[in-house]
Structures are given as structure tokens and as C-alpha cells.
Amino acid sequence: MRLASIDLGTNTIRLLVAEVGPGPSLRFVHQEQAIVRLGERLSATGRLGAEAIGRAREVVLRYRDRARALGAREILVVATSAVRDAPNRAELLDPLREAGLAIRPVGGEEEGRLALLGTRWGLALGDERFALLDIGGGSTELLVASGGEVEHALSLALGVVHLTERHLKADPVAEAEYRALAEHVRGVLAAELRPILEGARPRALIGTAGTITTLAALDLGLAAYDPERVHGHRLPASRIEALLGRLAPLPVAERARLPCLEPGRADLIIAGIVVALESLRGLGLEALTVSEYGLREGILLRAIGWSP
């Protein structure tokens, strides 16, 4: 049996079609993604823009058709931060539901738990206490888990679309703007991480989603994105700092020409680096491990009843 998941995110929409086997198991048949910037100016206006809604609707319907053509018996669509935050989300969701799609907006904690499910499926993590960092366009999810149990689940207002729109106006990035952004992220983390730091601290950090996988590809010097090389890659804070030193002085147009750095992510990558670095520092860790798997795999794994 084939199933499909669509991750309807604030910046990126991602499709995964997989064959479900005994065990249960997943065999990937097809995957793709498109950057649509659904959350464009959402933090400023409080609403999804008409053009952004149109872009997202077009991509989701195209992915529906692709999944059906590949034999998917069910298409599971999960909508994250931009949809759950926007009061006019019905302008996007109602036409998609009328087109035969069952779309489920999820809260930040559930989004993080789904990403954790996909991550645990893709990496052998054992019983060691670890943190999962899922940097998104509208929010960042941070979970701490041990022995298959979630101990802390935080949904942080640190999405890279919102952070970039609010803090990074100059092109290339101005030093004063960067400092203000880093200070803001540090302040949010200092308040939110307190319950984690007061208890048994995680011994490792796993990073998932587009910011982290892009940094891994850049660190590896890949000419074309290779998920097998990205998955499991270790990114020390020193290497992330080196990438910051390389990317921040470049205008967005030059960043967008770098291999593995998509044009729709080139303006957001600096904010993503800040969140990754400050999360490492806040947790007192020196490196993170990259997971190619996350939310869209977690959607399917929950549907088939898999648990670590």
C-alpha cells in the first residue's frame, strides 16, 4: 500500500510518497519540495497574503495529483505554524478541502512530536537523553527525549521567516542587525530553556528540517544535494560559525547561487544559523547531528502505527 504525506509549512511545502510494508516499514517512492513562503509578511499583517495563498494552493494541488498518479491510497496533509497562526486560514484550507484533501493543522508540540518520530526512525538514538531542534519558517520546535519518552516539548517563536522580516533589512546583513537578532534569539532561549537546564541536560542535539540540512550540505561542500551524505553528518558549532562568516558578507543574490542553497532559502539562512548556534550554546553543547528525516516521515509513521 502506498501513502503520501504533505508538510504544509510556513516557508516550504514538502511531499513524500512511500510504500508501506510489514513491520511496519516505509520504502520511499518519491519526494520533492517547493519553497512558497506561505508566511510572507504574516508577522507584520497578521494574515496570510492572497498571493502566498495562491502559491501554496497551486503546489498542494500539484502534489495531490502527483501522489495519486503514483498510487497513493491516502494523502495526509499537516499544516504547521503559518496556518495555525493565521485567522484567515480558511481562505487556503476550504478550497483544498473541497478539492478532496483532508488537511489537519497541528499545534507546535504535536509538530515537534511528529518530527521526533521521523528522526527516531531515521537515526539509532538508543536511550540517551537528547534534544531535537526543528527550525521552521514560522516557529522552532525543541524537544528533549530519553528512552522513547518526551520530557520537554517547546514551540518557540523563532521561525526564520518572521525573524528575517523583523530583524534583517540590509543586504548583505548589517552587523548591528545581526547583533540585535542574536540578542533576541538568546533572550527567548534563556527564558524557554530554563526548565530543561534545571533538570538532567541532554547529551546530544539532533537537528532536522531545511536550515540544518542546508548547512550540512554547505559544510560538506556538495555540488548537488545528497541526502545520504547529509544524514548523520556532525556539525560542530565552530563549523557553523565558519559558515556564518562565509555567508553573512554575501548579498542574497550571491548566496542564492551557491550549490545546495535554494534561492528561497538564501535570505533566511542567516536567521537559521543564529537559531542553531544559540540553541547549541544555550544547551551547553558543542555540535549537532543532522537528520534528513523529520516531520513528513513522522506523519506517515504515525499513520501506520510505528513507535520507537
pLDDT tens column, 101-150: 989 999 989 999 999 999 999 898 878 899 999 999 999 999 999 877 88
Domain boundary residue, one of 108, 143, 169: 108
Residues 147 and 71 in one domain: no
Q: What is the pLDDT of residues 171-225, one digit of tens each?
A: 999 999 999 999 999 999 999 998 888 877 899 999 999 999 999 999 999 999 9
Q: Where residue 21 falls among pLDDT bands split at 50, 70, 90?
A: confident
- Domain annotation covers residue 71: yes
Residues 102 and 130 in one domain: no
- The count of domains in the chain is 2
Q: What is the 3-state secondary structure (H, E, C) of 1-62?
A: CEEEEEEECCCEEEEEEEEEECCCEEEEEEEEEEECCCCCCHHHHCCCCHHHHHHHHHHHHH
- Which CATH number goes with the domain that contains 26? 3.30.420.40
Helices (H), 168-268: 175-192, 194-198, 210-220, 227-230, 237-247, 252-255, 263-266
Residue 291, pLDDT above cutoff 80: yes
First to last CA, the chain: 22
Is this structure's pTM higher than 0.85?
A: yes
Residues 171 and 71 in one domain: no
Range 30-34 average pLDDT: 95
Q: Where residue 61 falls among pLDDT bands split at 50, 70, 90?
A: very high
- Domain annotation covers residue 300: no
Residue 94, pLDDT above cutoff 80: yes
So what's the pLDDT on residue 131? 95
Q: List C-alpha distances in Å: 25 to 28, 68, 111, 206, 268.
A: 10, 20, 21, 22, 34
Three cell numbers, residue 41? 509578511
Range 260-275 average pLDDT: 94
